[in-house]
A and B are shown apart, each in its own frame.
Chain A
Amino acid sequence: MILARVDGHAVTSIGHASLIGRTIVLCTPIDENGASAGAPFAAVDPMGAGMHARVFITTDGSWTQGTVHDDHSPIRNQIMGIID
């Protein structure tokens, strides 16, 4: 699991079928104090996390394949919770 902050979003119309129509956010990993701690990455957001929300993210592709209902999905990162 990765602790991260939502810093933006991305829009795509050409991509793997399992990605089309899903909300994609750009996140920055953060440390325990909330400071940036690594290179930005993208994740699927089924929860509607707001801008600069702190979230935690799974990098388990096989879990994500289940939630997008596609056994051939290459998606790894998905928001699993929004931190209060």
Chain B
Amino acid sequence: MKPGKVIGTVTLGVRDPAFRGGRWVVISPMGEEQLTGKNRSDVSSAWSLVAYDDLGAGVGDEVLYVEGAEAMQPFDRPIPLDAITVALLDTYSFTPPSGDA
């Protein structure tokens, strides 16, 4: 699981039938600078990604997402998915030890 910030949504016109009803969000991974608040920019330097979302995440929300084979585990059939939101963050704290920031 990785922390990320929702920076957009994706709406598909034509899609694979496996994805019927899916909702998609664009996530910018949150690095140390975003988590500690040193960098308030919503978009980090890491590549943004598109993830399936069934939690109702909106733009500006902070989420945890999972990448890889585990992303399709919540479904009862195999679908070609490799990123999914798994939690909306209410609060978090992140303070690396000083001298190692």
> In chain A, residues 9-23, which have Cβ atoms closer than 8 Å to a Cβ of chain B?
9-16, 19
**Do A42 and B3 form a contact, CB below 8 Å, given A16-B74, A76-B70?**
yes
Counted as pairs of residues, one from A and one from B, with CB atoms less than 8 Å apart, the total is 110
B6 at the interface (CB under 8 A from A): no
- What is the number of residues of chain A that contact chain B, defined by CB distance less than 8 Å? 34
| Residue from B1, B32, B92 whose CB has the most chain A CB atoms within 10 Å | B1
B70 pairs with A72, CB closer than 8 A: no
**Do A19 and B31 form a contact, CB below 8 Å, given A36-B96, A74-B71?**
no
B30 at the interface (CB under 8 A from A): yes
A8 at the interface (CB under 8 A from B): yes
| Residue from B55, B69, B76, B94 whose CB has the most chain A CB atoms within 10 Å | B94
A74 pairs with B84, CB closer than 8 A: yes
A7 pairs with B89, CB closer than 8 A: no
- In the A-B complex, list the 6 residue pairs whose CB atoms are closest, starting with the nearest: A15-B87, A8-B94, A61-B70, A12-B87, A42-B1, A10-B92
Residues of B within 8 A of A (CB): 1-3, 29-32, 35, 46, 55-56, 64, 66, 68-71, 73-76, 84, 86-97, 100
Besides A26-B93, A39-B2, 4 other A-B contacts (C-beta < 8 A): A9-B93, A12-B64, A41-B1, A75-B66
